[in-house]
Amino acid sequence: MNVLVINCGSSSVKYALFDKNEAIIVKGKRERLGQQDDDRRGTHAEAIANIFAELAGHSIDAVGHRVVHGGESCQQSRAIDDDVRAAIVKHIPDAPMHNPYSLAAIDAAVKALASVPHVAVFDTAFHARMPKRAITYAIDQDIAKAHGIRRYGFHGISHEYAANIAAGFLERPLQDLRLITLHLGNGASACAVEFGRSAETSMGNTPLEGLVMGTRSGDVDAGVLLSLLRSGEFDVAGLDTLLNHHSGLAGLSGLGNDLREIEQAASEGNERARMAINVFAHRARKYIGAYAAIMGGVDAIAFTGGIGENSASMRARILQRLEFLGVVMDEDKNNDASVIEDKDYARITTERSRVEAIVVKTNEELMIARQTRKVIESKRPKEALEIPIAISARHCHLTEDTFKRLFGENATPTHYKDLVQPGQFACEERVNLIGPRNRIEGVRLLGPLRKVDQVEISRTDEFKLGVDAPVRDSGKVAGSAPIILEGPAGNVQLSEGLICARRHIHMHSDDAKRFAVKDRDEVSVAIVGGDRDLVFGDVLIRVKDSYALEMHIDTDEANAAELGRASVGSLSQTDVDDPAYTLVNQVHAALTE
Ligand code: AMP
């Protein structure tokens, strides 16, 4: 399948045609579009028509379009239809420098090649599952809801790409890593990529929040905007122009948005240019510190975008004084990394640096081609396949050492009853959890004993105890919440181990084949036909030949869907990346205890 990618910016269109092996057949760029000066080279629509004319001899099987903002309904890549188009139109005011041009390009491309599927790949997609605490602004929530005021995050295609390259460089699975990716170009944003997912990012409801950009301000006290409005000197359009076009590096330096010129002026003593560079670097460093704190550590920092890839001096400024985090930059490597040719990345830290820093040549077009192919190829069987649902009440897994300290030197776990997963059993023993705010009595131990202590509670329990337990895959307890366990023989203070378990489905490899999924895929599972229909997104697939087919959710999740204890449901699988395949299904009432 040959995929044509169209990456539309405010004044340019980049395009690339990929063959089935992801090799580029042809690529190019049209610039200075829609400008009002003598150099004007036409509109975006004219550029697209011109590109298709140039590609006339090539076979094109699908077209992938980068779209900045599709709002709530369009966070995953989707085949373009009337709904997708309407969502892009609706969010023009939120992305005025991007959405109008994407729309013009999409319409022109569909006109030029109506016979193949066109897919929209959203800049917001990678951030779609940021935690609520990261997407929520602290304003009246009724107003926020009524106006769709929440954080989305952008540059997701680039952040995801950089994170994948960083994982490849570290030779570790992305799911095990805490990364900070910095896309620094004319638009700029930072992202905390925790265990493969965007946990925080600096752009928010619109691409205006966060870092200093070419002409955009990034973070500004909202009170300043009120003052400017009150002054009467600015109306809404005036503020829009100020924040989107006359701010950032351009506003600070008074020299325009090109960092090369600003760096040159700074080296010649220009004070405003120096200030622009300092504010830019300071803001980026501030976000690195914040994101390391949010993730409880960082394994690598990746720089990308025009500035991230090319400005060694800006990278050096940003990484200054981060030795306390474990980042030790290698000056020579940093200087040499400034030109990257056929390499995906370059390392810029020393051998003794605990945290790596790398420069990544971003490749949004490749990511868009992959997503486009994925949407077109992800036509999984739609028939409903049954999955039993187990509702896990709060429970704990203990090490031998912890068990003995709680229940006595000579104690061993007492079998109470077998669980569905082979070899797993509930024990007679129970422990009490003591949190800063409250205690929870009688939390059951599950056997056999393990190598690491892990206590699994629900969100409701978390608030009762007064702790902040992260949502984690089972076994990933590093950096999770502390808790005190109380047993008949004594107390044990765990410095970590308290989690809210991420919902998941255990399955045998034969089941994985039936469902067309593989280990660590994420799927959505719909519960439809009861009193409260609900789609559980972000369900992790865990495949092992020792597993029995079973979905595990906690009591809060079961209550939300009004599922009875130990229900057996009929669920269907779907690819979260393709809402077109979102679920069919019917819960066959609760069947067993
Ligand atoms: P992008 O939006 O990713 O294309 O990035 C554009 C930004 O990268 C502009 O601010 C350029 O000035 C900056 N840039 C590109 N090359 C260099 C370079 N060699 N040194 C400093 N900045 C650069």
Give the model confidence (pLDDT) of 66-122 as tens digits. 999 988 888 788 899 999 999 999 999 888 888 999 999 999 999 999 999 999 999
Kindly tell me the sign of the dihedral angle through the C-alpha atoms of 587, 591, 592, 593.
positive
Do 273 and 251 meet the contact criterion of CB atoms below 8 Å apart? no
At residue 570, the pLDDT reads: 45
Token couple for 38: 């003598």
70-98 burial: b if 16+ Cβ within 10 Å, else e? bbeebbbbbebeeebbebbebbeebbbbb
Instruction: Identify residue 484 by its one-letter amino acid code.
Output: I
| Euclidean distance between CA atoms 29 and 530, whole angstroms | 53
Homologous superfamily of 1-122: ATPase, nucleotide binding domain (3.30.420.40)
Phi, psi (deg, nearest 5) at residue 301: -120, 130
What number is the average pLDDT over the span 128-137? 92
At residue 134, the pLDDT reads: 95
Q: Is the CB of 305 under 6 A from ligand 1?
A: yes
Q: Is the CB of 214 under 6 A from ligand 1?
A: yes
CA distance to 284, 294, 524, per residue, from 537 (Å): 32, 23, 4
One of 1.10.3470, 1.10.287, 3.40.50, 2.40.40 is the CATH number of 378-388+504-587, namely 2.40.40
Token couple for 345: 């990345």
261 CA distance to ligand 1 middle (Å): 10
Least confident of 44-53, 177-186, 248-257, 480-489: 44-53
Token couple for 247: 């701010």
At residue 572 the predicted structure's pLDDT band, cuts being 50, 70 and 90, is very low
Going by CATH, does the domain composed of 132-366 fall within 3.30.420.40?
A: yes
Give the model confidence (pLDDT) of 143-174 as tens digits. 999 998 999 999 999 999 999 999 999 999 99
| Euclidean distance between CA atoms 252 and 216, whole angstroms | 10
| Fold agreement (1-122, 132-366) | yes
Domain boundaries, the chain: 1-122, 132-366, 378-388+504-587, 391-501
267-294 burial: b if 16+ Cβ within 10 Å, else e? eeebeebbebbebbbebbbebbeebbeb
CA distance to 386, 535, 556, per residue, from 564 (Å): 16, 16, 12
| Euclidean distance between CA atoms 208 and 217, whole angstroms | 7
| Euclidean distance between CA atoms 248 and 362, whole angstroms | 22
Is residue 354's pLDDT more than 90?
yes
Question: What stretch of H or E contains 541?
Answer: strand 534-543
At residue 204, the pLDDT reads: 96
Show Cβ contacts of residue 233 under 8 Å, excluding neighbours closer than 6 positions: none
At residue 341, the pLDDT reads: 59
Which residue CA neighbors atom 9 of ligand 1 most closely? 258
For the entire predicted model, the pTM comes to 0.81
In the chain, the largest separation of any two C-alpha atoms, in whole Å, equals: 88
At residue 517 the predicted structure's pLDDT band, cuts being 50, 70 and 90, is confident
Give the model confidence (pLDDT) of 547-557 as tens digits. 988 888 888 98
Burial bucket for residue 68 (CB in 10 Å: 0-12, 13-18, 19+): buried
Token couple for 135: 């997407």
Q: Is 258 a catalytic residue?
A: no
Which of 123, 299, 511, 554 is an active site residue?
123
186 CA distance to ligand 1 middle (Å): 7
At residue 40 the predicted structure's pLDDT band, cuts being 50, 70 and 90, is low
- State the Cα torsion 211-216-217-218 to the nearest 10°: -30
Residue 83: alpha-carbon gap to chain centroid: 24
Please identify, by atom number, the ligand 1 atom nearest to the C-alpha of residue 262.
Answer: 12
Is residue 571's pLDDT more than 60?
no
Please identify, by atom number, the ligand 1 atom nearest to the C-alpha of residue 9.
Answer: 2
Do 318 and 182 meet the contact criterion of CB atoms below 8 Å apart? yes
At residue 578, the pLDDT reads: 37
Do 318 and 281 meet the contact criterion of CB atoms below 8 Å apart? yes
Percent pLDDT > 90 in the chain is: 72
Per DSSP, 301 falls in state: E
**φ/ψ bin of 468: left (φ > 0), alpha (ψ from -120 to 50), beta (otherwise):** beta
Mean pLDDT of the chain: 89
**Count of CB atoms situated within 10 Å of the CB of 14:** 18
258 CA distance to ligand 1 middle (Å): 6
Percent pLDDT > 70 in the chain is: 91
Strands (DSSP E) contained in 224-274 are: none
Is residue 591's pLDDT more than 70?
no
